[in-house]
Structure 1
Amino acid sequence: MLHILTKRSDFLSANKGLRNARAGFVLLTRPNDGKGMRFGITVTKKIGNAVIRNRMKRRFRELIKEALPQSGLADHDHVLIGRAGGVERDYHTMAQELDKALSRAREGRSDPPRGRRPRRGNRKTGSA
Structure 2
Amino acid sequence: MAGKLRRRAEFLHAQAGRKAVRPGFILRARQRRMGPDGGARAGLTVSRKVGGAVQRNRIKRRLREVLRAIAPERMRDGFDYVVIARSHALTQTFASLTRDMESAFAAVHGEGRSPRPNR
In 1, distance between residues paired with 2:48 and 2:58?
Answer: 13
Can you give the 5+ residue segments of structure 2 that lack an aligned partner in the other structure?
Answer: 114-119
SS of the aligned residue for 2:49 comes to: coil
AA paired with 1:77? Answer: D
Can you give the 5+ residue segments of structure 1 that lack an aligned partner in the other structure?
Answer: 110-128
Structure 1 range deviating more: 67-76 or 56-65: 67-76
Tell which structure's C-alpha radius of gyration is larger. 1
The answer to which structure has the higher helix fraction is 2
Q: 1:54 and 2:67 equivalent?
A: no
AA paired with 2:88? Answer: G
1:13-28 → structure 2 map (5 Å cutoff): 13-28=13-28
The offset of 1:89, in angstroms, is 0.5
**Alignment deviations for residues 29-60 of structure 1 (CA, whole Å, 9 cap, x no partner):** 00121232000000000000000000000011
SS of the aligned residue for 2:28 comes to: strand
Corresponding residue pairs, total: 109
In 1, distance between residues paired with 2:24 and 2:79?
Answer: 22
Superposition CA RMSD, Å: 1.3
The offset of 1:73, in angstroms, is 2.0
In 1, distance between residues paired with 2:41 and 2:64?
Answer: 12
The offset of 1:18, in angstroms, is 0.3
Matching residue within 100, 105, 118 for 2:108: 105
Structure 1 range deviating more: 23-32 or 70-79: 70-79
The answer to whether the 8 Å contact 1:73/1:106 transfers is no
The offset of 1:68, in angstroms, is 1.3
Identical positions, percent:
33
In 2, distance between residues paired with 1:17 and 1:32?
Answer: 10
- TM superposition score normalised by structure 2: 0.87
Partner of 1:118: none
1:1-128 → structure 2 map (5 Å cutoff): 2-34=2-34, 35-107=38-110
**Alignment deviations for residues 65-122 of structure 1 (CA, whole Å, 9 cap, x no partner):** 111111112210011100121101011001000000101112177xxxxxxxxxxxxx
